[in-house]
């Protein structure tokens, strides 16, 4: 049976909210939990020491815990934090940037790569497996056909994870778009992200809700979900399905995926899932189409 | 500081060489490079002429093979590497770990540069590519401030190339999927952002709408000049405001900080624009050549001349320029 993981929280949440979330996650059906700040080094309500403490508790609840690294590194202070993260002796690290891969492989440590780390072919997979890669997340823009080819080329012992639900991580910038939307520079952002626990909506001039501003990250406004494809993903030997946390309903979403992986009827599960998404669903990427497209066999 | 200029066809390549480029970078006519547009790039025959023209005049030619092959297309990337190597290219500009691994194994003596599409922003990251593939230069993404670039240069095992002029990617290169989210095609998978096949210009009662696969990127009023609907340069609504939420149509221009770039040890300045005309290449190359020469000769008294700035702004997006991420307040 495919395992379920909870990806790192992409947004800036209040400290108590983060603590509450993982307390609930401890009792969820997810087997793997990724912890840490992956977007902005200025978000410091939960520090490395806190993540380690949360991780320890989750581990005692039987979860596999990993620490996720920052996706875009710019400042020297961010490199110092990354080095500290990679030196931790408690948990494996999800590398979201090549710098983390270099640090971890240099120290002889195994690692996982996240959804914004570019692995598009078998040769890259093989080389990284030789460096200590134990699990990798399929880049979100790739679909089932490429996944099938990559699974055939996958080195022995390497696990494959698929970004199964969440607003898609689409881009990263030096510029903070949430601050910009408040007419503030990044250096004086006033931590505006905290006001948007699911990110800030960007719509077209026709009021079509299109993208989400989440600090320096841009996400899809629609929530990518692959419930329909669970049987195919299972047949292709995918090991882990990742659920990316949203402000409300993440635990219910995990229950739905848990039921689905155990062979539950996808139609009522899909119907239930769609009601939990902040805006609506998309699944184009998994079918090699535009990421924003949506087509489901369950609900016309 | 070496001046590295773009060429999407033979006339552009000649324009770059004739106006003082030290090196010209090109791509082949397929999805192996990040400027995969109809009517652009080099066939084997034009490439042969290009390399001869550049090298006969003592200039270098680099081939960009900087997209990310999937298993079913990998042989196309190998063929591109082999073709460039066979013709004696001065360097390959590569991004994907698999392609770098192939090039290093098959052509161990060939000079490899790490493309901006590899998205590497730290010396630790550069070390990975240096240790594993022997890269001899890195092109940094347009997300670092000048002081951050300086810091990377101090610790980098290889020389550093940065962008000096041209259309500005505001997202870190190689990790931007906005285009495939809207169209199914991204720089990584297809070698194009906001592909022309998905672009529509629609006259409305009160102006022009520009769309990308149906998504309204911008609306221009009567008399307003409509720009190409690049996703990150459109006007959108956030809260109560309609504005350029990500970035305005603008180009990067580093003329005002050239002495600083030289002082911190930048080895090469890259000009963006393989999709632009030979006239663009000629004009930008000539200005950058004059500016770099002046800067090298006398960095202390260097001042960007008004006519240089004028010429560059004429060929800039929206006729405006910016220092982008180099300048902290931009961020």
| Identity of the residue in A128, A145, A168 whose CB atom sits nearest the CB atom of B181 | A168
**A99 vs B330: CB contact, 8 Å cut-off?**
no
Written as one string, the DSSP assignment of A163-181 is: EEEEEEEEEEBSS-HHHHH
pLDDT digits (tens, 9 = 90+) for A28-69: 999 999 999 999 999 999 999 999 999 999 999 999 999 999
Which pLDDT value is given to residue B158?
98
SS3 content of chain B, % helix, strand, coil (to 5): 40, 20, 40
Is the predicted pLDDT of residue B319 greater than 90, yes or no? Answer: no
Q: Burial, A163: exposed, middle or buried (Cβ in 10 Å; 0-12, 13-18, 19+)?
A: buried
B329 interfaces chain A, CB cutoff of 8 Å: yes
**A213 vs B245: CB contact, 8 Å cut-off?**
yes
**Scanning every residue of chain A, which has its alpha carbon at the shortest distance from the alpha carbon of B176?**
A171
Is the predicted pLDDT of residue B265 greater than 80, yes or no? Answer: yes
B189 interfaces chain A, CB cutoff of 8 Å: yes
Mean pLDDT of all residues in B238-263 = 96
B149 interfaces chain A, CB cutoff of 8 Å: no
User: CA-to-CA distance for B160 and B120, rounded, in angstroms?
Assistant: 11
Window 264-293 of B, Cβ < 8 Å to A: none
* Nearest-neighbour CA in chain A from B323: distance (Å): 13
Q: Helix (H, G, I), strand (E, B), or coil: what is residue B77?
A: helix
**Scanning every residue of chain A, which has its alpha carbon at the shortest distance from the alpha carbon of B215?**
A204
According to DSSP, the residues that pair with B266 across neighbouring strands are: none
Q: Helix (H, G, I), strand (E, B), or coil: what is residue B156?
A: coil
User: CA-to-CA distance for A142 and A123, rounded, in angstroms?
Assistant: 16
Mean pLDDT of all residues in A291-296 = 96
User: CA-to-CA distance for B99 and B108, rounded, in angstroms?
Assistant: 13
**B245 vs A181: CB contact, 8 Å cut-off?**
yes
Residues of B in contact with A176 (CB under 8 A): 331
* Nearest-neighbour CA in chain B from A178: distance (Å): 9
- Reported in sequence order, the residue ranges of A194-289 that DSSP labels E, i.e. its strands, are 200-203, 209-214, 217-225, 240-243, 281-282
Q: Which of B8, B186, B214, B22 is nearest to B95 (CA)?
A: B186
What number of CA atoms fall less than 13 Å from residue A140's CA on the CB side?
Answer: 34
* Nearest-neighbour CA in chain B from A177: distance (Å): 6
**B184 vs A72: CB contact, 8 Å cut-off?**
no
Residues 6 or more apart in contact with residue B235 via CB below 8 angstroms: A205, B218, B219, B242, B243, B244, B245
B242 interfaces chain A, CB cutoff of 8 Å: yes
Q: Which of A246, A242, A243, A249 is nearest to A276 (CA)?
A: A249
Which candidate in A125, A170, A186 is best for mutational testing of the B interface (most B CBs within 10 A)? A170
**B175 vs A171: CB contact, 8 Å cut-off?**
yes
According to DSSP, the residues that pair with B113 across neighbouring strands are: B93, B137
Angle between the N-to-C axes of helices A15-25 and A250-261, in degrees from 0 to 180, rounded to the nearest 10 = 20
What's the CA dihedral at B63, B69, B75, B80 to 10 degrees?
A: -10
* Nearest-neighbour CA in chain B from A32: distance (Å): 25
Which pLDDT value is given to residue A298?
79
Residues of A in contact with B97 (CB under 8 A): 118-119, 123-124, 127-128
| Identity of the residue in B101, B118, B128 whose CB atom sits nearest the CB atom of A101 | B128
* Nearest-neighbour CA in chain A from B16: distance (Å): 30
pLDDT digits (tens, 9 = 90+) for B218-231: 999 998 888 899 99
Contact between B124 and B306 under an 8 Å Cβ cutoff? The reply is no
**pLDDT category, A299, cuts 50, 70, 90?**
low
B180 interfaces chain A, CB cutoff of 8 Å: yes
User: CA-to-CA distance for A67 and A57, rounded, in angstroms?
Assistant: 14
pLDDT digits (tens, 9 = 90+) for A135-192: 999 999 999 999 999 999 999 999 999 999 999 999 999 999 999 999 999 999 999 9
**Scanning every residue of chain A, which has its alpha carbon at the shortest distance from the alpha carbon of B240?**
A181
Strand (E) or helix (H) holding A33? strand A32-35
Contact between B47 and B28 under an 8 Å Cβ cutoff? The reply is yes
Pairs across A and B, CB distance < 8 A: 217
Residues of B in contact with A206 (CB under 8 A): 216
Q: Which of B244, B242, B222, B215 is nearest to B317 (CA)?
A: B244
Domains along the sequence of chain B with CATH: 2-168+250-330 (3.20.20.70), 178-243 (no CATH)
Domains along the sequence of chain A with CATH: 3-168+223-276 (3.20.20.70)
pLDDT digits (tens, 9 = 90+) for A199-243: 999 999 999 999 999 999 999 999 999 999 999 999 999 999 999
**pLDDT category, B318, cuts 50, 70, 90?**
confident
Q: Which of A28, A10, A31, A30 is nearest to A20 (CA)?
A: A28
Strand (E) or helix (H) holding B137? strand B137-139
What are the φ/ψ torsions at residue B224 (nearest 5 degrees)? -80, 135
**Scanning every residue of chain B, which has its alpha carbon at the shortest distance from the alpha carbon of A188?**
B329
Is the predicted pLDDT of residue A300 greater than 60, yes or no? Answer: no
């Amino acid at each position: 049976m495919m395992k379920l993981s909870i990806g790192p929280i992409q947004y800036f949440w209040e400290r108590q909210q983060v603590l509450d979330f993982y307390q609930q996650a401890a009792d969820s059906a997810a087997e793997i939990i990724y912890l840490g700040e992956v977007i902005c080094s200025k978000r410091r309500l939960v520090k490395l020491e806190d993540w380690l403490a949360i991780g320890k508790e989750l581990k005692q609840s039987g979860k596999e815990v990993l620490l996720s690294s920052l996706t875009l590194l710019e400042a020297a202070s961010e490199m110092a934090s990354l080095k500290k993260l990679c030196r931790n002796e408690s948990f494996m690290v999800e590398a979201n940037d090549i710098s983390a891969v270099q640090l971890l492989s240099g120290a002889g440590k195994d690692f996982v790569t996240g959804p914004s780390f570019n692995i598009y072919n078998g040769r890259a997979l093989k080389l990284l497996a030789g460096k200590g890669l134990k699990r990798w997340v399929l880049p979100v823009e790739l679909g089932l056909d490429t996944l099938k080819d990559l699974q055939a080329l996958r080195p022995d012992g390497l696990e494959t994870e698929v970004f199964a639900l969440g607003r898609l991580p689409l881009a990263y910038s030096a510029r903070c778009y949430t601050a910009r939307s408040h007419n503030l520079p990044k250096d004086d952002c006033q931590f505006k992200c905290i006001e948007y626990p699911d990110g800030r909506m960007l719509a077209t001039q026709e009021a079509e809700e299109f993208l989400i501003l989440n600090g320096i990250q841009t996400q899809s406004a629609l929530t990518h979900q692959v419930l329909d494809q669970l049987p195919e993903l299972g047949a292709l030997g995918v090991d882990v399905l990742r659920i990316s946390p949203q402000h409300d309903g993440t635990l219910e979403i995990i229950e739905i995926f848990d039921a689905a992986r155990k062979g539950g009827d996808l139609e009522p599960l899909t119907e239930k899932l769609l009601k939990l998404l902040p805006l609506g669903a998309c699944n184009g990427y998994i079918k090699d189409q535009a990421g924003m497209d949506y087509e489901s066999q369950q609900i016309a | 500081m070496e001046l590295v200029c773009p060429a999407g066809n033979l006339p552009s390549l000649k324009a770059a060489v004739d106006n003082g480029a030290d090196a010209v970078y090109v791509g082949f006519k397929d999805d192996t490079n990040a400027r995969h547009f109809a009517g652009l790039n080099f066939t084997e025959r034009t490439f042969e002429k290009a390399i001869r023209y550049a090298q006969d005049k003592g200039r270098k030619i680099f081939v960009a093979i900087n997209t990310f092959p999937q298993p079913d297309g990998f042989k196309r990337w190998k063929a591109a590497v082999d073709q460039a190597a066979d013709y004696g290219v001065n360097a390959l500009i590569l991004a994907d770990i698999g392609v770098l691994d192939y090039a290093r194994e098959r052509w161990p003596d060939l000079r490899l540069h790490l493309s901006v599409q590899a998205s590497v922003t730290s010396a630790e990251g550069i070390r990975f590519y240096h240790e594993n593939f022997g890269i001899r230069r890195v092109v940094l993404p347009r997300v670092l401030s000048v002081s951050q670039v300086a810091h990377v240069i101090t610790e980098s095992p290889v020389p550093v190339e940065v962008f000096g002029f041209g259309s500005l990617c505001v997202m870190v290169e190689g990790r931007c999927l906005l285009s495939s989210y809207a169209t199914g095609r991204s720089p990584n998978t297809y070698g194009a952002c906001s592909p022309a096949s998905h672009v529509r210009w629609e006259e409305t009662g009160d102006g022009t709408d520009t769309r990308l696969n149906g998504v309204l990127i911008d609306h221009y009023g009567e008399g307003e000049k409509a720009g190409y609907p690049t996703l990150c340069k459109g006007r959108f609504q956030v809260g109560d405001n309609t504005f350029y939420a990500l970035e305005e149509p603008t180009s990067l221009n580093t003329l005002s900080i050239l002495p600083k770039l030289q002082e911190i040890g930048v080895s090469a300045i890259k000009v963006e624009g393989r999709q632009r005309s030979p006239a663009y290449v000629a004009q930008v190359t000539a200005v950058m050549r004059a500016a770099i020469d002046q800067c090298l000769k006398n960095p202390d008294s260097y001042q960007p001349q008004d006519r240089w700035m004028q010429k560059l702004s004429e060929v800039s997006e929206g006729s405006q320029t910016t220092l982008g991420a180099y300048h902290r307040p931009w961020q």
